[in-house]
Amino acid sequence: MPQPPRLGVVVITMGDRPRELDALLASVAAQDVPADRVVLVGNGSVLPALPVLPGEVTTVELDENLGCPGGRNVAIERLMAFGDVDVVIELDDDGLLVERDVFRRIRDLYAADPRLGIVGFRIADETGETQRRHIPRLRATDPMRGGPVTAFLGGGHAFSMTMLTRTGIWPAQFFFGHEETDLAWRAVDDGWQILYEPALLLQHPRTSPARHAVYYRNTARNRVWLARRRLPLPLIPVHLGVWTLLTLLRTRSLPGLRAWAGGFAEGVRTPCGERGPMRWRTVWRLTRLGRPPVI
């Protein structure tokens, strides 16, 4: 009988949410299927005293904040070095696993589908409401409709480690913003499935991405980098043109627009990392799934 997938958990913290981190780790420890390994990274911060957790626990304290993707890469590389984890679950440090069967559901999903690359959680606030931006579909209003998608939520998700060894890990230079899309497009281009599973709930405080000081600038810079890295040449101006129009229509903050313009210029003039454009059949696959890579 095949061995069930072995689970690893990654949590990155900047040390500014000690109570939320304690609650999250308690919910990790309460899972009815325990993780085999847990990696906790202090992203430019000292880790607080930690509760007792099942499995092997590794702690890393970084001297500087590498951003969310950079910090997660440190943890993933540790898991890859151990070589005994098949699926990695990444959780925001201010999230909470409400149900005790989340890890078991993830284990069973990956056991049933060897081409399952990414599983995205449903994110809801303390009242049970899911913000529209947390539903990984266009024009979608029902957060309880799961199935194959083209994107996933950074706050709570799982990756196949086999997929990561093929596609590569997070784009650390993004620091914050659009790193999920870069990884998702690489996964789809390599033939992996992305699944949105609303039964996997991560409770998360209601927030706005604009709370981050670097939001407008990083969003624009990384959008340009994303297009330059992953899109066929004819689609780059289309993608950026659509997003420029949407930004002008949606943004009500003049300082925000100025920061966005500075970020856009930075994205054009600075190196974006290694270029690996998706194949046209991937463009068609993303389109059939409801989100062509120009929207």
The string of pLDDT tens digits covering residues 9-36 is: 999 999 999 999 999 999 999 999 999 9
The residue whose two tokens read 């004819």 is 234
Residue 73 is predicted with a pLDDT of 98
The string of pLDDT tens digits covering residues 92-115 is: 999 999 999 999 999 999 999 999
- In this prediction, residues 258-266 reach a mean pLDDT of 95
- In this prediction, residues 243-265 reach a mean pLDDT of 92
Q: What is the average pLDDT score of the chain?
A: 95
Residue 249 is predicted with a pLDDT of 92
Q: What is the 3-state secondary structure (H, E, C) of the chain?
A: CCCCCCEEEEEEECCCCHHHHHHHHHHHHCCCCCCCEEEEEECCCCCCCCCCCCCEEEEEECCCCCHHHHHHHHHHHHHHHHCCCCEEEEEECCCEECCCCHHHHHHHHHHHCCCEEEEEEEEECCCCCCCHHHCCCCCCCCCCCCEECCCCCCCEEEEEHHHHHHHCCCCHHHCCCCHHHHHHHHHHHCCCEEEEEEEEEEECCCCCHHHCCCHHHHHHHHHHHHHHHHCCCCHHHHHHHHHHHHHHHHCCCHHHHHHHHHHHHHHHHCCCCCCCCCCHHHHHHHHHCCCCCCC
Return the C-alpha torsion angle 151, 106, 205, 93, nearest 10.
-100
- In this prediction, residues 264-286 reach a mean pLDDT of 97
Q: pLDDT-based confidence at 214, cuts 50/70/90?
A: confident
pLDDT of residue 171 exceeding 80, the answer is yes
Q: pLDDT-based confidence at 238, cuts 50/70/90?
A: very high
Residue 215 is predicted with a pLDDT of 87
pLDDT of residue 289 exceeding 80, the answer is yes
Q: pLDDT-based confidence at 252, cuts 50/70/90?
A: confident
- In this prediction, residues 235-259 reach a mean pLDDT of 93
pLDDT of residue 211 exceeding 60, the answer is no
Q: pLDDT-based confidence at 209, cuts 50/70/90?
A: low
pLDDT of residue 253 exceeding 70, the answer is yes
- In this prediction, residues 131-149 reach a mean pLDDT of 90
Q: pTM for this one? A: 0.95
Q: pLDDT-based confidence at 210, cuts 50/70/90?
A: low
pLDDT of residue 1 exceeding 70, the answer is no
Residue 102 is predicted with a pLDDT of 98
